[in-house]
Amino acid sequence: MVSIDMHALWCQFGRPRQGVINAVRLTAKLDYKRAIKQAAVDYEQDNADDLNKHFTDKDTTTFWKCWNSKYQKSLSTPVSIDGQTDPLKIANDFKDYYSNIYVNSSVNVSAVNEYNNAYSSMPVDTESCVIDIDVVDVEY
């Protein structure tokens, strides 16, 4: 049975979380996910095989035609930021924005002195500064 059919059947039986109906639904769902993953792998492998064939045949024209047909993506709509579509205008707007919020902290003498004092008071023993990070810490 197809995953969609099993889902509908599962809904008809009140969406049980255990039992035969749920087990069959989960199996169908897993099969469906496996089929999607396998289709993606097969697609990528076919693309790689086509490109490899043209590459090994030293047929650069066909290689690049194949590459572009598979991987070159064109934007269907132009990029618009604050109503601007001209790339040069957008880049200049970014430049203006970030140049206005930039603060040269090295000019602030008191901040530089505060940093230097904090840095000089740090322990020289780098072993004591090492923090033990575990996979569990990164996971959350």
Q: Kindly list the averaged pLDDT for each block of 10 residues, start to end, along the chain of length 140.
A: 78 87 87 91 87 86 86 71 87 90 82 87 70 72
Looking at the structure, tell me whether residues 60 and 113 fall in a common domain.
no
Question: Tokens 């790339």, residue?
Answer: 87
**So what's the pLDDT on residue 85?**
85
Q: What tokens were used for 6?
A: 């099993």
CA distance 140 to 49: 40
**So what's the pLDDT on residue 1?**
55
Looking at the structure, tell me whether residues 65 and 10 fall in a common domain.
yes
Do 25 and 10 touch, CB atoms closer than 8 A? Answer: yes
**So what's the pLDDT on residue 129?**
65
Q: Is residue 137 domain-resident?
A: no
**So what's the pLDDT on residue 39?**
92
Looking at the structure, tell me whether residues 41 and 100 fall in a common domain.
no
**So what's the pLDDT on residue 77?**
67
Considering the entire predicted model, what is its pTM?
0.42
Looking at the structure, tell me whether residues 83 and 65 fall in a common domain.
no
Phi, psi of 137 (to 5 degrees): -65, -40
Q: Is residue 96 domain-resident?
A: yes
Q: Is residue 54 domain-resident?
A: yes
Looking at the structure, tell me whether residues 45 and 66 fall in a common domain.
yes
Domains of the chain: total: 2
For residue 17, what is the DSSP state?
S
Q: Is residue 135 domain-resident?
A: no
For 81, the domain range is: 76-124
Q: From the DSSP assignment, how many helices (H) and strands (E) are in the chain?
A: 6, 0
